[in-house]
Structure 1
Amino acid sequence: MDQLANNAVINHYTPGMQILVAKDGKVIYDKSFGAQDKNSSEKVKWTDLYDLASVTKVTATLPLLMLEVGDNKLSLDQTLGEIDEQAKNTNKSNLTVREVLAHQAGLKPWIGFYNETVNVKNARLYLDFYSRKKDEEHQIKVTDNIFIINSIKDTIYEDIYKSALGKKTYQYSDLGYYIFKKKLEKDFQQGLNQIVQEKFYQDLGMYRTTFNPKEKFSLNDIVPTEYDKTYRNQLIHGFVHDQGAAMMGGIAAHAGLFSNSIDLAKLMQMYLNGGEYGDQKYLDSSVIQEFTKQQFKGNHRGAGFDKITNPLRTGPSAESFGHTGFTGTMVWVDPKYKIVYIFLSNRVNETVEPNYLSIKKVRENIRQVIYDAILP
């Protein structure tokens, strides 16, 4: 594992990373490698916070959705029209929560919301949308010197409701998570960041997990991501990398969470324990099983969780589940072998495309070493 990690740093697949493995509830491997930034000699510390990107889905949104299912406030077979008033008279009305979570609903993979607000050739912001200072009309903070117009959230939702639907086959999409955020905030009468802190992170001892980390931590503790040349025209440091989440003020259901490996291991261990951790029960084990099983034939996804496409006896089991993130992150849980695996990196700091971390299967190859060590 050391060799594969060091190799990724030497070859500039990512400037650095944190890797943690727990087996049978005990941490057996916990190391940091490389630097925070490709242009810096600041070594990665175990306390450093990484931008989780889409791992936010399984660490912020899904635990809350599972909580609602356990409390009978939500069913996976409810439709978007039933859980969101605005979705009622749109082509999204009859899509079920299960289809959306399994990326089987025909939703567009992505909408570049920011494209309408900026000249992407030179990253010049259109003044109709932005201000360099916070004022009455521009309350949403994108970075320290970029504030976006308050009405942008309505525009984003409008774009989602109006977007075309494709066939109901597997197609990964963030769009449904914008709707889940709205539902959760309405149900709990709080912001997503506050809900998940109160329901999970505080009691789990996840003290280094938060949205908008710059509000709570020093920049030395936060690993920077990309030098963004198409939108924000600066190094993204302490703010979310994902443009859509940035336009929502850094708090979104699909991206925006920052954390470190040990915090994430606690949440993943809670999933592995069937919803229990430290003598406290957070979720029903039957609900976790429902969310983490394969939902549709010919589609390897669970309800929000990723699964192994073709499980082999020599690697992750069919019961295993997790998620990856665009910035170079991965969380993985294998109930069969009682394994928790966390991989955090900021590979976009080196290069967004080509994605060498994925091409070279760095996360997967390190995970495989764990199985090679425990399987006969």
Structure 2
Amino acid sequence: MKTKFLILCALFAYAQSVMAQSSAYFVNRTELIADKDNFLPIADLGDAKIALISTSQKKYAAFQEQISRYAPVSSYDLSNYRKGISNTNVLIIIGERAEFKADFWERMRNAASKGKKVIFCELGDSRFGFSAGLTSNMIYLKNQNTNSIAQRDLAMSVFGGMAITQGSNKRSQTRLQYADGNEQPIGLDISKMTRKIDAVANEAINEHATPGLVVMVVKSGRVLLEKSYGFHTYDNKERTDKDDIFDLASVSKISATTPLIMHLYEQHKIQLDSTLGFYLPAAKNTNKAKTTLRTVLLHEGGFEPYIPFYRALKTGDISRTRSSTHQVQLADQAFLKNGYYENIMWPRMLASPIRNAGQYVYSDISMYAMKEVAETVTGKPIDVYLEDWLYKRIGMQTIGYNPRKRFPKTKIVPTENDTVFRKELIQGFVHDQGAAMANGVAGHAGLFASATDLAIYGQMLLNRGTYGGVRYFNPATVDLFTSRQSKSSRRGLGFDRYDLDASKAYPSRFANESVYGHTGFTGTCLWIDPKHQLVYIFLSNRVYPDVSNKLYDLNIRSRIQDAIYETLNDAK
């Protein structure tokens, strides 16, 4: 047991050192002067209700923008900050000391005495001592400068985006580090890499492979590139933004269903060699009763690859308006009758034939089944469980199912102009027909997210289970699910992987055997490379206005990944 503990400690230290590598490129001028309870960097965000108080939102816009990348933050100025005190449990104050009066500090002291975390981020070279307004139960950071770089460094210091090396209260980097785009990591020609990626991205848009896209590259915990291209549609009205929300399609498999299965595996609530019949009462008397979860995750259960459920719809199953009998919203003006998934789709999946069990056949039905297992074991819908257990705590602010319930339509990139099934442009509702008919929540599709959220998730896996100072998985679990686990394919458990057949150049000509991730039908991918400590994200809506193979034919995703590897190889 002692040896196992020492190994785990070493692995954790390795993950932290990897995250710290990026900080070595840049000097953080921030000093942490007081934090007696070691609250910083803020770790689990699940219960954090954060208020940002400043004298001027315009003056401190750089701080506010940077801090909002890590967690949802409510902003207040000195005219309404009392509301922030009453509604939150973490108060972050940014400014120069002279900007705040004595009565303000009196209220802050009172808030701290009642258990609220009060964090003062001071800018400038003030002559005030620590005792001027602050008490020992407050947290105090200081940066001698007042420019936007100092503001960003302070914000990242609070959340672990940069290591704090000044003074005696040192802190490690625990979250992604974001740059302003002008800083060049030592040895890496990011400008050259960006030019190469620009050329491929613009080719994709010019050839109508996709109207727009977002690319994000993370190396050793530091964001090297996050850039958007093109527009939401070919009418060039809504420019694509790096924070836009995309339909992830099959990237949902590794960003929702699989991590939840990993979590339940660690809790000993499921066993990979137990069967669908053991976990699902509805499967006990079917041909899938003896199919193991391991086999399902490897896509070796012999399941049908895809069932076009929408083709079996009858007159009256879909209505153009919502009613008491049609509550399942498929699009803005398309509503499916209640209970269709439970009464028709899921029974049809259970009754579907099994062919060539033991051979690799990629199947969406596999992840429908794993979602059913997860919900049966937890007793909760998968979307609710994931939000509480992972997404909210780790700081993934956009990821989730049915984004129209949480975000404005314009923030979500549209997919297909569906002329057959829903008969309208699909925007903010899942493109996959089966997932839409399952009320937008399925095991194989339905998840939406921004590139930043996928980068957070990818970095957590790259750290072998830790992020923001919180452990979500044991390293052995990450290694098990992401490594090659099949004798007949390249697959891991739920995860796709690098293809050992070099002639396929999948997912890139320069990828290696450590690489794992997944692609999505809508034109997305997430690839993680432990060997190079690399996370690569590509998001697009290549199915707009209708499904096209040009993104595949032009090999856009892989060529951008090639450009990233070429940059790393040039630095050797």
Is the 2:258–2:494 Cα contact (8 Å) retained in structure 1?
yes
Instruction: Measure the CA separation in 2 of the matches of 1:60 and 1:38.
Output: 31
User: After the TM superposition, which of the residue ranges 266-275 and 79-88 deviates more from structure 2?
Assistant: 79-88
What is the aligned counterpart of 2:327 among 139, 142, 156? 139
1:266 aligned counterpart, secondary structure: helix
For residue 102 of structure 1, the aligned residue among 281, 290, 298 is: 298
Shift of 1:350: 4.2
Query: Does the 8 A contact of 2:279 with 2:376 survive in 1?
Result: no
Higher RCO, Cα 8 Å, sep 6+: 1
Say how many residue pairs are matched.
367
| Counterpart amino acid of residue 321 in structure 1 | Y
Pick aligned residue for 1:339 from 534, 541, 560: 534
Partner of 2:230: 34
Mind listing any 5+ residue stretches in structure 1 that lack a counterpart? Answer: 119-125
Aligned to 1:150: 338
Deviations 1:263-314 (A, max 9, x none): 1100010001010001001111111111111121130111111111126696
Bigger shift: residues 309-318 or 360-369: 309-318
Cα contact 2:279–2:377 (8 A) shared by 1: no
Note if contact 2:496-2:516 (Cα within 8 Å) is conserved in structure 1: yes
**1:1-376 to 2 correspondence within 5 Å?**
1-117=197-313, 126-127=315-316, 129-153=317-341, 154-167=343-356, 168-310=358-500, 315-353=510-548, 355-375=549-569, 376=572
Residue identity opposite 1:338 in structure 2 = Q
Residue deviations 1:237-264 (CA, integer Å, cap 9, x gap): 1111000010011111111111110111
Contiguous gaps of at least 5 residues in structure 2:
1-196, 503-507
Deviation at 1:138, TM superposition (A): 1.9
Deviations 1:75-134 (A, max 9, x none): 22111111211111111111111111111111100000110016xxxxxxx21x123333
- In 2, the alpha carbon distance for the partners of 1:113 and 1:138 equals 17
SS of aligned partner of 1:7: helix
- After superposition, the Cα gap between the structure-2 partners of 1:305 and 1:161, relative to the gap in structure 1 and judged at 3 Å, is same
Q: Partners of 2:339 and 2:392 in 1: how far apart? A: 32
Deviation at 1:186, TM superposition (A): 2.5
Distance 1:166 1:39 in 2: 46
- What's the CA shift string for 1:187-214, capped at 9, x where partnerless? 2232211111111111111111121111
Q: CA deviation at 1:183?
A: 2.2
Amino acid at match of 1:366: I
Q: Deviations over 1:219-252 (max 9, x none)?
A: 1101000001110010001111000010011111
SS of 2:252's equivalent in the other structure is helix
Structure 1 letter corresponding to 2:474: D
Shift of the alpha carbon at 1:69?
0.6
CA 239–314 in structure 1, closer or farther in 2 if over 3 Å, else same: closer
The CA RMSD over aligned residues, in Å, is: 1.5
Q: TM-score, normalised by structure 2?
A: 0.63
